[in-house]
Amino acid sequence: MEQVLEGTDILTCEERPRIWRYSYAAGPLRSKFLLHLRDDKKIMGTICPACGRVYVPARSTCLKCFESMEEWVQVSDEGLLETFTVVYASSPVYPEDRPFAFGIIRLDGADTGLVHRLGEIDFEKIRIGMRLKAVFEDKRRGDIRDIKHFRPVS
């Protein structure tokens, strides 16, 4: 893994929910994933050399066969909604306007789902299996929120 990550900057992730604030080292794997989001607007994953599963976000070990994964592959910024939740209740943890929605999106080329916000969407029309596309922030900072949300493909 070190060879693949050679030269990768290590990022610090900032979490700022309303009731606490903290930061942590993202580590080399997550940093590389986030740097591709920030610098190239590319969504990258790692591929297992034994079974061929593609993990997004990237992982260092295959959950199916426990092989180490060192090869990176780009996946699409579009995919299928596997499941979702719409939040109507108030919570101090999420300072978002309500309602808002999260989903698990399996991007084309990936075998795993990415949890992210859904936006530009009618909450009453969200359906499992609908096609979604990533919308990137104009000003990106090396954070999973560099993907603003996933919107329906029209």
Site of interaction with Zn ion (CB under 5 A)? 48, 50-51, 62, 64-65, 67
Smallest gap, in angstroms, from Cβ of residue 64 to Zn ion? 5
Minimal distance, residue 63 CB to Zn ion, in Å: 8
- In whole angstroms, how close is the CB of 48 to Zn ion at the nearest point? 3
User: Which residue in this structure is represented by tokens 């079974």?
Assistant: 51
Closest CA to 104 of 94, 114, 112: 114
Nearer of residues 25 and 63 to Zn ion, judged by Cβ: 63
If you ran DSSP here, which 8-state letter would residue 99 be given?
S
User: Cβ–Cβ contacts within 10 Å for residue 25, how many?
Assistant: 11
What's the closest the beta carbon of residue 50 comes to Zn ion, in angstroms? 5
CB of 71 to Zn ion, least distance (A): 12
Closest by CA position to 140, among listed 65, 48, 58, 34: 34
CB of 49 closer than 8 Å to CB of 38: no
Q: In this complex, which beta carbon is closest to Zn ion, that of residue 52 or of residue 95?
A: 52
Which CB, 35 or 62, lies closer to Zn ion? 62
**Residue 25 or residue 65: which is nearer to Zn ion going by CB?**
65
Q: Name the helix (H) or strand (E) containing 115.
A: strand 114-118
Cβ nearer to Zn ion, comparing 51 with 128? 51
Q: Which of 8, 15, 77 is nearest to 45 (CA)?
A: 77
